[in-house]
């Protein structure tokens, strides 16, 4: 009887362990990757030149190259078209943040390019993704925005393209999703990486300042863009916080310069007044 009881106890323990494992919350079985693994090494990739000959296919199956979009700043968005979370969100929020933009006009002053890093995506998946964007929130996509996949048949081509801007992604077999950073990559008219803006939330002012950074070469050589130059000088990008902020060092320097010039001016004025009050010496 004791032996039988021991077998029953063992069986109950095994069943209890199985039930406990089966009843675990789904979050405990989700993959966990250190976000630092996906962090972009900006010091390495800022200024990196993308290959203008990179061949693409847009949502209508039309062939184009990255070079066809250059000549103006480009906002590059890396997404995958089977995503139903962060990827459509960042594209939708970008479209909404661009609507109030008045200083720069999409298509005329800059372009937007969304490229899939999923080698399973093709023209049909691209078209479906664009349709979902327009239907879900009635997003008005601005002129000059292209959605595309790489034409290169090499399965490793999407990964090479993503790595050219420091973008790293991982497939989670448990979650059946790609883990990746949410980031906008701003390219200069020559196709060099000028700025990274992180997160799915974005504001119009940040986009405007990043476009000024990306197009600084043209702006600095244009006599009619003094306002943009002053705006760009008055704000600096805070890498630790990932956002623009007033250029406090510049303001402090200008304040010190104004104070110094004021002090010199007051000193000269006082000297002249004292000199004018002195009686003339008789000869």
* Residue owning tokens 């989700």: 30
Least confident of 69-73, 91-95, 226-230, 278-282: 226-230
Nearest Cα to Cα of residue 219 among 192, 253, 196, 188: 188
Least confident of 30-34, 93-97, 190-194, 209-213: 30-34
The angle, 0 to 180 degrees and rounded to 10, between the axes of the packed helices 204-214 and 226-234 is 110
> CA 221, CA 116: separation in Å to the nearest integer?
35
Buried b (16+ CB within 10 A) or exposed e, 237-261: beeeeebbeebeeeeeeeeeeeeee
Q: What is the dihedral of CA 201, 207, 209, 215, to 10 degrees?
A: 140
> CA 64, CA 54: separation in Å to the nearest integer?
9
Nearest Cα to Cα of residue 129 among 142, 120, 140, 116: 116
pTM > 0.85: yes or no: no
> Hey, CA dihedral for 91, 96, 102, 106, is it positive or negative?
positive
pLDDT for residue 264: 74
Q: Which residue has the higher pLDDT, 236 or 198?
A: 198
Confidence of residue 277 (pLDDT cuts 50, 70, 90): low
Q: What's the pLDDT tens digit per position in 57-80?
A: 999 999 999 999 999 999 999 999
Confidence of residue 143 (pLDDT cuts 50, 70, 90): confident
């Amino acid at each position: 009887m004791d032996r039988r009881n021991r077998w029953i106890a063992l069986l109950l323990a095994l069943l209890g362990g199985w039930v406990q494992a089966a009843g675990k919350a789904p979050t405990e079985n989700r993959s966990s990757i250190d976000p630092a693994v996906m962090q972009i090494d900006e010091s390495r990739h800022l200024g990196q030149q993308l290959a203008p000959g990179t061949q693409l296919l847009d949502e209508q199956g039309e062939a184009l190259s990255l070079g066809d979009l250059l000549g103006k700043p480009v906002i590059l968005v890396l997404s995958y078209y089977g995503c139903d979370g962060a990827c459509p969100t960042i594209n939708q929020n970008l479209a909404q943040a661009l609507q109030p933009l008045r200083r720069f006009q999409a298509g005329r002053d800059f372009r937007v390019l969304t490229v899939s890093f999923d080698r399973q995506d093709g023209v049909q998946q691209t078209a479906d993704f664009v349709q979902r964007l327009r239907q879900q929130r009635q997003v008005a996509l601005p002129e000059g925005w292209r959605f595309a996949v790489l034409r290169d048949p090499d399965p490793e081509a999407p990964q090479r393209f993503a790595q050219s801007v420091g973008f790293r992604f991982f497939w989670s077999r448990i979650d059946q999703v790609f883990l990746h950073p949410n980031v906008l990559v701003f390219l200069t008219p020559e196709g060099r990486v000028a700025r990274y803006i992180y997160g799915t939330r974005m504001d119009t002012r940040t986009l405007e300042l990043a476009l000024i950074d990306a197009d600084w070469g043209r702006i600095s050589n244009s006599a009619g863009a003094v306002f943009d130059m002053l705006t760009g000088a008055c704000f600096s990008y805070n890498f630790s916080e990932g956002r623009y902020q007033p250029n406090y060092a510049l303001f402090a320097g200008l304040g010190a310069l104004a104070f110094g010039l004021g002090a010199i001016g007051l000193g000269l004025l006082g000297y002249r007044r004292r000199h004018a009050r002195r009686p003339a010496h008789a000869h």
